[in-house]
């Protein structure tokens, strides 16, 4: 059975744009996309602002009926209680977040997030009806030692532990060496690992999940290379960092279909 997966272009703002800048950014992006070439049904656009922007952005999206999905960049493993500084998935769900990024390499690197913590966060997201965007990827050192797939496959296997077969998830393959470096993976490399990760989803959650789950590529995605990734059969979208902060650039990435010819 062939399942049409709606492409997903997700902007990870990281620690950029405060809540006032966020308003201007979202409005400008919405205007930039208001033309016939962007069909909201044919590509899903997601913005992932810092926590402190979420309420403001949610209000703006709801008030102006802007069809962007909203997501957070992280969440707590816990639902409530004495966890100073943490943010519960319950709070994110109340702010109409549909998604939450989990296991980004910057969390793994700077906050020592282990595969087990990532797995606990995936469970926390699912408990609150949030779609986890599960990030996996190898460092340059891993690539040299083990090749491209071994580390991301291992990370994804742990993250999917205990995930029900009918769960809605997104997987993002982000080679650490490609993030913010200007040196993206080649489309062939991305396709290879994304196809392997889809097989992992199939092994863990079954064929239906493998067919419907979107697997994104992330790492130095720009308007100039997005079409080459989107032509690959197992790349269903992109998780975009730096280029998601520039309105015209992000709008051009969202309009990749113009170049792919679909």
- According to CB under 6 A, which one of 7, 8, 9, 12 is a site residue for ligand PGA? 12
220 binds ligand PGA (CB under 6 A): yes
Judged by beta carbon, residue 80 or residue 140, the one nearer ligand PGA is: 140
Torsion sign over Cα 85, 54, 180, 41: positive
The rounded radius of gyration (Å) of the Cα atoms in the chain is 17
Backbone angles phi, psi at 40, to 5 degrees: -55, -25
Closest to 159 measured CA to CA, from 200, 187, 107: 200
Judged by beta carbon, residue 26 or residue 240, the one nearer ligand PGA is: 240
73 binds ligand PGA (CB under 6 A): no
218 binds ligand PGA (CB under 6 A): yes
Contact 37, 255 (CB under 8 A): yes
240 binds ligand PGA (CB under 6 A): yes
How far does the chain reach from its first CA to its final CA, in angstroms? 20
- Closest CB to ligand PGA belongs to which residue? 241
Q: At closest approach, how far in Å is the CB of 36 from ligand PGA?
A: 28
**Could you identify the residue written with the tokens 């960092």?**
241
Instruction: Give the range of 139-147, 163-171, 192-200, 233-241 binding ligand PGA by CB under 6 A.
Output: 233-241
Judged by beta carbon, residue 105 or residue 213, the one nearer ligand PGA is: 105
Instruction: Give the range of 115-123, 172-180, 229-237, 254-262 binding ligand PGA by CB under 6 A.
Output: 172-180
- According to CB under 6 A, which one of 201, 239, 247, 254 is a site residue for ligand PGA? 239
104 counts as catalytic: yes
Instruction: Give the range of 24-32, 53-61, 126-134, 216-224 binding ligand PGA by CB under 6 A.
Output: 216-224
* DSSP H stretches of helix in the chain: 19-32, 51-63, 89-94, 105-110, 115-127, 140-146, 150-159, 187-205, 207-212, 226-230, 247-254, 257-260
DSSP string computed for 113-160? --HHHHHHHHHHHHHTTPEEEEEE---HHHHHHH-SSHHHHHHHHHHT
**Catalytic residue IDs:** 104, 174
Please report, as ranges, the residues that interact with ligand PGA according to CB under 6 A.
12, 174, 179-180, 218-221, 239-243
């Amino acid at each position: 059975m062939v399942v049409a997966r709606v492409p997903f272009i997700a902007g990870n703002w990281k620690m950029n744009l405060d809540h006032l800048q966020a308003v201007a950014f979202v409005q400008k992006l919405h205007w930039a996309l208001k033309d016939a070439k962007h069909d909201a049904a044919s590509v899903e656009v997601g913005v992932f602002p810092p926590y402190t922007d979420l309420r403001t952005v949610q209000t703006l999206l709801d008030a102006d009926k802007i069809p962007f999905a909203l997501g957070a960049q992280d969440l707590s493993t816990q639902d409530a209680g004495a966890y100073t500084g943490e943010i519960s998935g319950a709070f994110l769900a109340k702010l109409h977040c549909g998604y939450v990024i989990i296991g980004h390499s910057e969390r793994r690197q700077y906050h020592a997030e282990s595969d087990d913590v990532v797995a606990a966060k995936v469970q926390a997201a699912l408990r609150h009806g949030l779609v986890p965007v599960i990030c996996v990827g190898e460092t340059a050192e891993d690539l040299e030692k083990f090749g491209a797939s071994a580390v991301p496959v291992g990370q994804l296997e742990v993250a999917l532990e205990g995930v029900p077969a009918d769960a809605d998830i997104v997987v993002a393959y982000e080679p650490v060496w490609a993030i913010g470096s200007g040196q993206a993976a080649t489309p062939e490399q991305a396709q290879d690992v994304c196809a392997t990760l889809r097989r992992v989803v199939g092994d863990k959650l079954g064929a239906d999940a493998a067919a419907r789950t979107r697997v994104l590529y992330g790492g130095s995605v720009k308007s100039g290379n997005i079409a080459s990734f989107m032509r690959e059969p197992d790349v269903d979208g992109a998780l975009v960092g730096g280029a998601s902060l520039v309105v015209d650039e992000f709008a051009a990435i969202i309009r990749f279909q113009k170049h792919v010819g679909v």
